[in-house]
Amino acid sequence: MPSQTEVKRILEAALLSSQEPLSLADMKRIFEGQVEPGPLKEALEELGKDWEGKAVGLVQVASGWRFQTRPDFLPFIEKLDPEASPRYSRAVMETLAIIAYRQPVTRGDIENIRGVAVSAQIIQALENRGWVDIVGHRETPGRPELLATTRRFLDDLGLRSLEDLPPLEEIARTVELPQAPAGHPGATTQPAANEPNAEPNGDSHAEPSVEPDAPAAEAAS
């Protein structure tokens, strides 16, 4: 069985090399079951302290743990590839905000709140990004699809659960932050510039015009 120091070093290497968050189950698999969750969490806590004050830190998100660039440094990283940071239209952002704060919702619910029709391209853009998914059907005539945010959505915002959602006026700024380049700690894949309703060099958009309810109690899909 590896020592606690070895566990920490192995976890550090695994987390830095992984492009996706690692869950406790993933970490147990690394050690072939020789290390229990308790010591793993202790090693993660120590590792987090080791990286305090640095440009990259260890964070826990919905899917597990990962190293990511701290937000203060993202504007500088964006300059390495300024064309890779599309901005979503106001319509997409409003739709995402409604789904995030009132989920699960149907397309009809979104249209009632926004007061305009929601195109299939808007929903598709959010599904392609991995932020929204179909989680069921409402038992009403036509059985419309119920939409909710995904675990990927929480991961990309650096959140553990829906209860950690920021105030509504902050969510647009958060999801529009440029991500670190691929392969960099904390990097996530940006949608292509030709994705529906993506604006590669658009101006910042006004905040979504909806009032948030309390986040849904059920976990993200």
Q: Residue 181's domain spans which residues? A: 82-199
Q: Domain for residue 115, yes or no? A: yes
Count of H-run helices and E-run strands, the chain: 9, 6
Q: Tell me: do 23 and 114 sit in the same domain.
A: no
Q: Tell me: do 109 and 153 sit in the same domain.
A: yes
Is-contact 125 94, C-beta < 8 A?
no
Q: Domain for residue 33, yes or no? A: yes
Q: Domain for residue 139, yes or no? A: yes
Q: Tell me: do 114 and 184 sit in the same domain.
A: yes
| Of residues 156 and 196, more confidently modeled | 156
Residue whose C-alpha is closest to residue 208's, from 78, 102, 124: 102
Q: Domain for residue 206, yes or no? A: no
pLDDT at 218 over 60: no
* Domain boundary residue, one of 19, 38, 70: 70
The number of distinct structural domains making up the chain is 2
pLDDT at 44 over 70: yes
Q: What is the pLDDT of residue 139?
A: 92
What span, in angstroms and rounded, lies between the C-alpha atoms of 51 and 56? 7
Q: What is the pLDDT of residue 82?
A: 65
Average pLDDT over residues 147-161: 90
Q: Does the reported pTM lie above 0.75?
A: no
CATH of the domain at 15: 1.10.10.10
Is-contact 130 154, C-beta < 8 A?
no
